[in-house]
Amino acid sequence: MDVRHSVCRSTPCLPDLPIVYASDAFLKLTGYARHEVLGRNCRFLSGLDTDPSTLYQMKKCIESEQACTVRILNYRKDKTSFWNFLHISPVRNASGKVAYFVGVQVIDMCNNWEKQQGWSPEMKQLSAVAAVKVAVRSLTIVSTS
């Protein structure tokens, strides 16, 4: 599957951080239709072999309004698993309050995870941040269209 970046956006304004936007690449990656994704928390992509400590790490970062980058085993609609190199970042409004969280799945990094093992944490973070910047720009364009 040649999906470079898939993106979803969740809002902290509603209970359980539901997805309010999912890119076409996200839908292609997960196998779900847009109406099956919107309004749900991203946890529906977790499954039996998803590491609970990774879910906990993500939860704590979101609660503290901090960015995080994780490698997590997720599941598609057809129940097949995939490694998701995921970067979650808060996006703040003009007053500094978190307006939403953006999740960027950087698939190329997952497919080459073994090669990335030698990367410094700074290099991994820079790569993830670059992907998030591209994703946020595309979300801004989508939101204003």
* pLDDT tens figures, 10-65: 999 999 999 999 999 999 999 999 999 999 999 999 999 999 999 999 999 999 99
With a cut of 80, say whether residue 137 has pLDDT above it.
Answer: no
d(CA 115, CA 7): 23
Q: Is the pLDDT of residue 89 over 50?
A: yes
pLDDT at 53: 96
Instruction: Return the residue matching tokens 């099956």.
Output: 36
Q: What's the average model confidence in pLDDT over 117-129?
A: 61
Any idea where the domains of the chain sit in the sequence?
Answer: 5-144
pLDDT > 70: percent of the chain: 70
For 4-40, the DSSP string reads -EEEEEE-TTSTT--EEEE-HHHHHHH---HHHHTTS
Which of 46, 41, 22 has the alpha carbon at shortest distance from 32?
Answer: 22
Instruction: Read off the tokens for 53.
Output: 């400590």
Do 101 and 62 touch, CB atoms closer than 8 A?
Answer: yes
CA dihedral for 65, 68, 72, 75, sign (positive or negative): positive
Fill in the amino acid letter for 113. W
* Residue 5 confidence (pLDDT): 73
Q: What is the pLDDT of residue 22?
A: 96
Q: Which CATH code is given to the segment(s) 5-144? A: 3.30.450.20
